[in-house]
Structure 1
Amino acid sequence: MKEQITMMKESSNNKGKFEKLIELNDELENYFNNTIIPQLFVDADMILRKFTPAAMKHFKLSADDVGRHIDEVSNNIRFPTIIENITEVIESSKDLEKEIQTTDKVWYQMNILPYIIRKENRTNGVIITFIDINDRIQVLKGYERLSRDYENIIHSISHDIKGPISNMEGLIRILKMTPASEEDNKLIIDMLSESVGNLRRTVEDLADVNHDMEFAKEPERVNFENVIEDAKLALRDKIAESNAKISTQIGVTEISFSRKNIRSIIYNLLSNAIKYRKPDSEPVVTISTENSGEQIMLKVSDNGLGIAEDKQQDIFNRYTRLHTDVEGTGVGLFIVKGMVESMGGRIEVKSKEGKGTSFMVYFNN
């Protein structure tokens, strides 16, 4: 009789434990079915045991994927080291948290938590959570670009306004030198007024960074010929002084880009082409644009001093100056490279000492 009572108690306890297990399983099932966060439950044998509806939708999983090895569905998740990360957590029984970018270019915060059987003190799998942080990452990248733009603007303001100021100084000297006719004075005043207007536009272009806060804003359409003319106007004194011959071959007339950046790029490359001329010859500069695969190429070529092969990458570093006898600060090409790369493009140089230099700027179309 006593044994029967003991057996009945044990049976009742087992039934209670079983019911509690069913209840816990139902709660877990209910949680997985109702959470909006993509989550996966992978056991210690790397078998996918469960996933949330959000994970099913996001990673295009199906009910048939339950019971499959995680390696068989890793292509859906599109993160190449996920198996290594799961193994690391199972072996260490420690949480893993990292920001990842999947092969479809989406950013997530991935948390892998060990699923520990407390009674046995062993890890029997992992629960993986994916939180979409793509918007936050893009905003951070936007602020990083904005920070680089501010740095470029600081250098550009001091660099790009030298041309217009030089024009104005030259015209003022002419006015001061000798008395001239009323007609000549009017012409000089008109030219001075034009230089002042160009200087104002340059400063406004460089200082207008409010639109850079709108990271999703579409780039404006910029006409290459118009910007080239602006740069030539800003460098009018240097062009006249050096008797530079500037020609254009515009195969692509427009580009979607920041106008102030395009202007600064062309101004810097044209200014350098004139500045680093050979002492015994007049500068000849060709500015061209053309389609290059899926990109647009802007090319500025000259017949100047050229650059030694072992120095051709150094010129893009800040404050690098290869010719100390020529006026400059060594930030022009550093600015250009920063502007181009911030928009996903690149700049290349081909040069030979004594034969001239070509800069090729590639913009995403």
Structure 2
Amino acid sequence: MGDPSTKTGKLEKLMELNDELENYFNNTIIPQLFVDADMVLRKFTPAAMKHFKLSADDVGRHIDEVSNNIRFPTIVENISEVIESSQDLEKEIQTTDKVWYQMNILPYIIKKENRTNGVIITFIDINDRIQILKGYEKLNRNYENIIHSISHDIKGPLSNIEGLISILRETPKSEEDNRQIIDMLSESVVNLRRTVEELVDIENDTAFAKEPERVNFENVIEDAKLALRDKIAETQAKVSTQIREAEVSFSRKNVRSIVYNLLSNALKYRNPAGEPAITITTEKAGEYILLRVRDNGVGIAEDKQQAIFNRYTRLHDNVEGTGIGLFIVKGMVEDMGGRIEVESRVGEGTTFTVYFR
């Protein structure tokens, strides 16, 4: 028989360790769960009780029975994976209430037997960090929008200016003709200046788009038509409008870029067999305001209709462009809770529908 005093000492040591563990569990501010190898919830911290609305009655229940409280569907599979492998598991999760956590599942190993007898699960609230990261991701996209728009939206006004200067240089004109050309040149310069000022005017805000404002569709469409005047004249395109919804609450510079991109594409991808006919319409549809740009151009094959929204996608090498325009448009719309859809038939034309929320 062993020494009774030794056994008493070991028991006291175990009780002391248990008290320390209990004290830790009761005072830590981190949500933690202790689940044994039979998937039974054995203990949890007060923070876990608060976060996941657990109660004393949940102790002794199978984790599958309380997983709805934790609101993370694969937790049982993840616990099994850690118990089987005895390896830590760390992942970022989002619960159904949209809060982000860093979840660490650590194996509880009995050293003498060299086996895992359960897991300790820790949840660290990283929602603020995730939101900041998302903010920076959006900021990067916004600055990408700026770069794209500066290189894309000013091409039209610059082309107009170059064309008008070329006309002035070519052959002598009457004083009235020269005055008219100079007036048009001045108008193009004003339009170019306004475009550049809007694109670079981020004031003290780090975001590309200002807070939504009331944007008049007719004004923005006229701006786009003016910027693309040379291309419209060159192709003899007929651009008509049906404005049933006059305004939208959005960033003005983004609406202008959206209209410009869609109108520019309709002109680029025209059907060589006939004159381009482009119709721009707006209307209210439930909670959305719809902008449609319909053309009678070459159309898009069905299996390519989603690919056109990917970065650098170009379906026709003989048409100028970077293949980033629709990618940018999609990002602009989706960042504000909307979406963009396309319907098209090869040889008949294409309709883009933007859903502004």
Query: One-letter code of the match for 1:178?
Result: P
Distance 2:290 2:109 in 1: 58
Pick aligned residue for 1:193 from 168, 183, 186: 186
Contact kept in structure 2, 1:245 and 1:285, CA below 8 Å = yes
Distance 2:231 2:15 in 1: 86
Alignment of 1:50-65 (within 5 A): 50-65=43-58
CA displacement at 1:85 relative to structure 2: 0.9
For residues 315-353 of structure 1, what are the alpha-carbon distances to aligned partners after superposition, in whole Å with 9 as ceiling and x for unaligned? 4451514261x5544443343334344555433222223
Pick aligned residue for 1:283 from 241, 258, 276: 276
Pick aligned residue for 2:68 from 53, 71, 75: 75
Inter-CA distance 141–117: structure 2 relative to 1 (3 Å threshold): same
Matched, 1:49 2:42: yes
Contact kept in structure 2, 1:321 and 1:329, CA below 8 Å = no
Contact kept in structure 1, 2:221 and 2:256, CA below 8 Å = yes
Pick aligned residue for 2:215 from 204, 211, 222: 222
For normalisation by structure 2, the TM-score amounts to: 0.87
2:123 aligns to what?
130
Contact kept in structure 2, 1:221 and 1:256, CA below 8 Å = yes
CA displacement at 1:358 relative to structure 2: 0.7
1:303 aligns to what?
296
Inter-CA distance 278–86: structure 2 relative to 1 (3 Å threshold): closer
Distance 1:119 1:283 in 2: 81
Matched, 1:354 2:347: yes
Quote the RMSD (CA, aligned, Å).
Answer: 2.9
Contact kept in structure 2, 1:142 and 1:215, CA below 8 Å = no
Alignment of 1:12-51 (within 5 A): 12-51=5-44
Most deviating of 225-234 and 77-86:
225-234
**DSSP-derived class of the 1:360 partner:** strand
CA displacement at 1:206 relative to structure 2: 3.1
CA displacement at 1:56 relative to structure 2: 1.1
1:3 aligns to what?
none
**DSSP-derived class of the 1:354 partner:** coil
2:158 aligns to what?
165
2:59 aligns to what?
66
Most deviating of 90-99 and 276-285:
276-285
Pick aligned residue for 2:316 from 308, 319, 322: 322
How many residues were matched structurally? 355
Distance 2:156 2:89 in 1: 56
Contact kept in structure 2, 1:243 and 1:283, CA below 8 Å = yes
For residues 175-202 of structure 1, what are the alpha-carbon distances to aligned partners after superposition, in whole Å with 9 as ceiling and x for unaligned? 3332432x55444333322211211222
Higher-Rg member (1/2): 1
**DSSP-derived class of the 1:213 partner:** coil
**DSSP-derived class of the 1:50 partner:** strand
Gaps in structure 1 of 5+ consecutive residues: 1-5
Query: One-letter code of the match for 2:27?
Result: N
For normalisation by structure 1, the TM-score amounts to: 0.85
For residues 148-187 of structure 1, what are the alpha-carbon distances to aligned partners after superposition, in whole Å with 9 as ceiling and x for unaligned? 3333433332222111011112322343332432x55444
Pick aligned residue for 1:237 from 230, 233, 252: 230
Inter-CA distance 215–114: structure 2 relative to 1 (3 Å threshold): farther
Identical aligned residues as a percent: 78
Query: One-letter code of the match for 1:145?
Result: K
CA displacement at 1:266 relative to structure 2: 0.8
CA displacement at 1:70 relative to structure 2: 0.8
Contact kept in structure 1, 2:42 and 2:60, CA below 8 Å = yes
Contact kept in structure 1, 2:238 and 2:276, CA below 8 Å = yes
Contact kept in structure 1, 2:269 and 2:298, CA below 8 Å = yes
Contact kept in structure 2, 1:142 and 1:213, CA below 8 Å = no
Contact kept in structure 2, 1:146 and 1:212, CA below 8 Å = no
Distance 1:59 1:246 in 2: 58
Query: One-letter code of the match for 1:40?
Result: L
Alignment of 1:203-282 (within 5 A): 203-208=196-201, 213=206, 218-279=211-272, 281-282=274-275
